[in-house]
């Protein structure tokens, strides 16, 4: 079954802000990994563990990794909603050009 993939306005902005090489990596990863089995855990795709005090909506987030690129998404029936695109440099994640200590903190502040 093929899933529909929708980028949120924020995710589209994040994608536009990274360089063209990184955009290509992100788009290729999305095409290869999210159209057919977005809910199957693999080496590069995993559900995120939400903090203990997280809201219920946060438990549905997944992370897709390809090199330094991170794509965060939620799946609802046959639709994959991409909520953010980030770049990992060493052990630091940058989303929207800003350092993010926790994806959930960033998402709570930017939803």
pLDDT value at 97 more than 50: yes
Is the pLDDT higher at 102 or at 95? 95
**Phi and psi angles of residue 24, each rounded to the nearest 5 degrees, phi first:** -60, -40
Interval 42-64: pLDDT, tens: 999 998 876 555 554 445 689 99
Phi, psi torsion values for 103, nearest 5 degrees: -60, -40
Other Cβ atoms closer than 10 A to 33:
21
Among the residues of the chain, which ranges form H helices?
A: 9-17, 20-33, 103-110
- pLDDT tens for residues 19-45? 999 999 999 999 999 999 999 999 999
- Give the C-alpha separation, 70 to 29, whole Å: 10
């Amino acid at each position: 079954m093929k899933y529909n993939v929708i980028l949120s306005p924020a995710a589209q902005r994040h994608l536009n802000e990274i360089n063209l090489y990184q955009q290509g990596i992100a788009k290729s990863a999305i095409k290869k990994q999210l159209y057919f089995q977005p809910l199957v855990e693999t080496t590069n795709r995993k559900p995120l563990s939400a903090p203990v005090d997280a809201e219920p909506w946060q438990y549905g987030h997944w992370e897709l990794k390809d090199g330094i690129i991170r794509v965060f998404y939620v799946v609802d029936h046959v639709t994959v909603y991409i909520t953010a695109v980030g770049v990992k440099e060493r052990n630091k994640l940058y989303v929207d050009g800003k350092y993010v200590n926790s994806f959930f903190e960033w998402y709570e502040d930017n939803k």
